[in-house]
């Protein structure tokens, strides 16, 4: 690998008094080479489509839950064209219990766009990726970086947490990506594209398995000696309240119960079967059902029958 260089020296004030940018990158990448999990979308034979599927599935969903669905998905739909040729309801059905089923709908729409606009090949250009349904700033950078070894910042929650702790001494980053996050990430990004792609994967892995939100393993961290948060005594977070992920009793749970009935049945389902799936709050159930129809995940058939969208 070529000598790694970062954008320090011309970087933002957030890095002005952080003297270990190049060392941070080097240590994390060396750790990654020795400790990275063997995940199918990281293997040399993984297609750009495989990377894209993994990125959609991994949004807000742990790796352990994604793996079996990912493998079944690619066995059934090894290319964007294969998915685009089937009804969107089949994508929602195959999504199973990963949660946030609109991701399945958007992945189907993205596959259709890839087939129609890019001859079935996932594009490698950042702007083209951003134009696909369901692909935003992070996902476009991740696909370009991981599938095509392009030089882009890749800022998911894990990476932002690593940078917040190591560079700024803050336990948690802001709820959403900030301009400061982008400036720090850009200043640290190696100039060589393959090095930048490896750093993106490595920093993400560090946040996922070592620099975790609830129980960081600082004793196993390759950059603990460079970390401002550790050096400052791990001060407790004192920013805006962090949102929890309450699920029990929510509209999300109600939607999930209704979709489970529809996924398990091929063909229309009578309203009464859906009513039996969520009895705790009739108003909430009707609201959840209406939102599934509005979102295009469910189709109303003959007034009192419902089915996954086609």
Q: Please list, in sequence order, all residues whose beta carbon lies within 8 angstroms of the beta carbon of residue 231, skipping any fewer than 6 positions away.
A: 169
**Residue 310 to residue 306: CA distance in whole angstroms:** 12
- The token duo for 190 is 């190696």
Is residue 253 left, alpha or beta, with left meaning phi > 0 and alpha meaning psi from -120 to 50? Answer: alpha
**Residue 200 to residue 190: CA distance in whole angstroms:** 10
55 given a catalytic annotation: yes
Catalytic residue among 26, 55, 171, 205: 55
Within 10 angstroms of residue 303's Cβ, the number of other Cβ atoms is 7
Distance (Å) of CA 204 to CA 146, 192, 226: 12, 18, 17
Instruction: Identify the residue whose tokens are 């917040």.
Output: 164
CA dihedral 299, 301, 305, 310 (to 10 degrees): -40
Catalytic residue numbers?
A: 55
């Amino acid at each position: 690998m070529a000598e790694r260089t970062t954008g320090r020296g011309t970087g933002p004030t957030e890095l002005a008094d952080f003297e270990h940018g190049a060392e941070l990158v080097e240590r994390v990448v060396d750790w990654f080479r020795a400790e990275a999990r063997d995940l199918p979308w990281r293997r040399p034979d993984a297609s750009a489509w495989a990377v894209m599927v993994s990125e959609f599935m991994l949004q807000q969903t742990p790796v352990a839950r994604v793996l079996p669905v990912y493998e079944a998905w690619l066995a059934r739909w090894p290319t964007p064209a294969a998915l685009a040729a089937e009804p969107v309801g089949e994508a929602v059905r195959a999504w199973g219990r990963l949660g946030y089923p609109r991701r399945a709908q958007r992945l189907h729409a993205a596959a259709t766009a890839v087939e129609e606009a890019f001859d079935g090949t996932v594009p490698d250009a950042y702007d083209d990726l951003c134009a696909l349904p369901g692909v935003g700033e992070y996902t476009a950078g991740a696909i370009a970086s991981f599938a095509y070894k392009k030089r882009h910042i890749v800022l998911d929650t894990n990476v932002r947490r690593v940078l917040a702790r190591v560079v700024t001494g803050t336990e948690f980053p802001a709820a959403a990506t900030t301009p400061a996050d982008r400036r720090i990430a850009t200043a640290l990004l190696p100039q060589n594209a393959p090095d930048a792609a490896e750093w993106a994967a490595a920093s993400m892995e560090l946040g996922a398995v070592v620099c975790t939100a609830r129980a960081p393993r600082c004793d196993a961290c390759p950059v603990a000696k460079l970390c401002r948060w550790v050096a400052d005594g791990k001060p407790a977070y004192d920013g805006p309240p962090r949102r929890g992920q309450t699920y029990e009793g929510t509209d999300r749970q109600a939607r999930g119960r209704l979709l489970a009935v529809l996924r398990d049945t091929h063909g229309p389902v009578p309203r009464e079967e859906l009513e039996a799936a969520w009895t705790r709050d009739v108003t909430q159930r009707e609201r959840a059902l209406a939102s599934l129809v509005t979102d295009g995940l469910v189709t109303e058939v003959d007034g009192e029958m419902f089915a996954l969208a086609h």
